[in-house]
Amino acid sequence: MTQAKEPSIRFLCAAAKILPEFAAFAVAVAVIFLDVIVLRQRCSESCLVEWCQFAAILSSGLILLAAAVRDRENDAGLMLAAILFLDMAIREQDATLDCIFHGFWTIPVGILTVFALFMLIFVAMPPSPVWRKSPPAPILPNLRSAC
């Protein structure tokens, strides 16, 4: 009797592992169906698909930004990834920002990118007092030891 239950438990465990991916796929299909069939839109710049894509990109950027604040060891990489996602979210709204003038999205993206680079150079990686006494360490020390 226990041998018959083991495969079904394995199947349930495997199904539980792929459930989030299946749910995300089902939501994407449902949004496209609603947009194209029910609302009869043609996936333009102001359609439901575009706004859901914007929400997903923006939430990914904010999650990475929150992770950068919490994880002090990997904050520089997480912040760069968060800025990339926030830049993509701004770029997704180029049709809305074109109401100001054509190509306006480049200004907030540029400001955000310059701010991120400033934070990385001067805040996340301040100059060490050791550098003043000795030359800086190699950027990729693991590559030198691997050769």
Mean pLDDT over residues 117-122, rounded? Answer: 77
Q: Which of 7-16, 27-36, 62-71, 121-130 has the lowest mean pLDDT?
A: 121-130
pTM for this predicted structure: 0.63
Confidence of residue 124 (pLDDT cuts 50, 70, 90): low
Start-end of H helices in 93-137: 94-97, 106-118, 129-133
Please give the pLDDT value at position 9.
76
| CA dihedral of 57, 62, 66, 72, whole degrees rounded to 10 | 60
97 neighbors 104 (Cβ within 8 angstroms):
yes
pLDDT, one tens digit per residue, over 63-118 is 998 888 888 777 778 888 889 999 999 988 888 888 888 888 899 999 998 988 88
Would you kindly state where each structural domain of the chain is located, as residue ranges?
1-40, 46-126
